[in-house]
A and B are shown apart, each in its own frame.
Chain A
């Protein structure tokens, strides 16, 4: 895009477009019949979406509903298996994000994509830097770049110094830079994925002002958020996705909060695993006002033998943080933990293991599996700290025997235990990791998204296993973003929002709507 294009001429072009072309093309962006499948999971099933020009179109749905996947398709990161994306009536054939940008679609991702050691100006104009010079003597025109940034900031009413390095900015200001960068493309469609996650109220108002300005110029804005208030504050249309399917589109004026929630979760719960009634024993773990400064606060609950406590909430609610604090990965800053009635300070994973806790982490690839090591080595790693070792030497044969037993018990599909764990399917990797923790003979098992990214067969096996373990007297904490799973497995459900507990529901009174309401704040 040339400098002139991004500065002024495009704006007038947009106005012309808004005046004349609008009448011909009712929709700025159209998605039709899009289907996207990944190994083992159907992310999008024949979805559609229509964005009118000069409107804010909110996109809502649970974690895993398919929103991000569809946005990535529109932004050129993925290609759909079938279906079509049309911009101003013309079908788009994109092979990468650059094609989308050139076509007039810009996206603000949830994760910030800025380079900390470069200036704001350099970050915004990367790949489009104004140049001066000729031939191979072509240099970046820093003065012009600064001027362009100042012009952009004046237009958006942003008060930042273009020469400031990004690493010196607060997270909120970095998000503003991301927004400015996306706006600078003067695209026809602007996708915003959770743009206000790091912003204060004042900055949110500022963003809304920018959005209003963009709307007036005919830009179509797709706005992904979990925040109900925002949806009703600025959106014109609201579309709901659920389990990879398009559900409905409503005019924001014609819908209320409860209906929205109902449509987001209203599915038939046919896959519920019939829960076995299991005798629930005495209190094993008690947590009181547990807080991790800046992350979550005043988390209190009890856990009894044989009980399965589900923890529900949206992404960012702080559930994984609570799990990691309980297990000593990020020790608490205040609050009390009691096991068997005795207070205990958990300052490291080893202390937690000693106290009888075990943690299956959220992301097995990132913090769970030793990918280059064998299944056996993955299984044995946690128990080695305390058992199966004499004078430093590992009692390998007895360990091997135990691991084989567990492999059979959990039905881990692998030709043998020496196989590299990265060659196993996700479900079997997860089972191997569960075996790792079972070897330590824990009394309290914390599972963070135990069946995420796992095929249906392995999922139900793991559910059966969890129930069985509870039946044997283990206390289980299960964090999950899947409604059927939480409702099917839990005796009680703890719901978190924004670092607080918003409610604890008993199994008998819980349903999807109540959970979603509590999870939304």
Chain B
């Protein structure tokens, strides 16, 4: 498709070239990733007919489950996208999710349970465990951001430390015991379509934030050139703290939703979720070098991961092979990103 437009441009430079430029710009960056999503879905559909003799996509139940399964990772990915746009990385989302799930669950227990974590704090209204979980996540993000802003520790190392520490804290919280018997008010958060709605609302909020607010502009600026951002009057340290705290808050929210859905809090929740979140972000077109990325692309990336996981399960493919393919797709996505960057520089 793009080939024919290019030849036209060569034949009649001037107006057509301008038109191609305008049209090319009107098509959002997400367009190419969206087509990849369609392509992958079609591939699985075809494979489904060959292997199983049944449709993959045209099954309403399955489509719902795809999005439901990835809603939590989607919440993490929204935070991680912003962090990566600033040129950093966050490896701690999965562990922070577990910690938040534990804390939230501990405040959501009913008095039916003989050995509640906080016997005096049972039968709490839903808002209490919800806030508790989200705030714990935010605190973890605050620690990440402060370390990175004030000590100059590379984000990789700082969030790696948090990844390990938060997981440890989650385990130490109840000595490894799961927290169960949660109130219905609380578990309602994880039932039905609610997780999807929460994810989509968060996506819309941060899409707007990145595109239309000063916060968004500064986030891109810091990723594009931190020194230039500083010279332009941006308080880079303070802004990074905001971004990492937001990522933590979103991981906390992910923990709350996870605990609500599982109707329990377990220290082993969210293992490797951060990698899926980062994968979705990168597949969605966000550049690891910083300065480039959109929530829209991340959402499509999340759906691609959901389609892949569901597709492989549908075809009866071993989980290990899923990981291999996922790995290949991540490398392919980053290579495509670098190729695009090189092409743009030559233009």
Contact = CB atoms under 8 A, between A and B. Distances in A.
Interface of A: 327, 329, 348-350, 353, 359, 361, 366-373, 377, 380-382, 384-386, 389, 392-394, 396, 415, 418, 420, 422-423, 436
Contact of A369 (B228, B235, B287): B228
B344 A420 contact: yes
A510 B212 CA distance: 51
The 8 closest A-B pairs by CB, nearest first: A370-B224, A382-B232, A372-B291, A350-B233, A367-B227, A385-B233, A381-B232, A392-B213
B218 interface: yes
A436 B232 contact: yes
B52 interface: no
A382 B233 contact: yes
B214 A368 contact: no
Contacts of A389: 214
Q: B-side binding surface: helix, strand, loop or mixed?
A: helix
A377 B232 contact: no
A368 B214 CA distance: 19
Interface in B54-88: none
Interface in B26-46: none
Interface residues of B, number: 30
Contact of B213 (A349, A359, A394): A394
Contacts of A329: 230-231
Contacts of A350: 233, 235
B345 interface: yes
A386 to B, nearest CB: 8
B221 A368 contact: no
Contacts of B341: 372
A238 to B, nearest CB: 39
B344 A369 contact: no
Contacts of A385: 232-234
Contacts of A380: 217
A348 B229 CA distance: 12
B177 interface: no
A381 B229 CA distance: 8
Contacts of A377: 217, 220-221
Nearest to B218: A384
A422 B233 contact: no
Among B214, B233, B289, B341, the most chain A Cβ lie within 10 Å of the Cβ of B233
A359 B344 CA distance: 29
B18 interface: yes
Contact of B224 (A353, A366, A371, A392): A371
Interface string B332-347: 0000000001001101
A353 B233 contact: yes
B134 to A, nearest CB: 20
Given A381-B221, A394-B217, A415-B18, A373 B291 contact: yes
A377 B292 CA distance: 13
B225 A370 contact: yes
Nearest to A373: B224
B217 A415 contact: no
Contacts of B221: 370, 373, 377, 381
A370 B230 CA distance: 12
A386 B225 CA distance: 20
B213 to A, nearest CB: 5
A359 B230 CA distance: 11
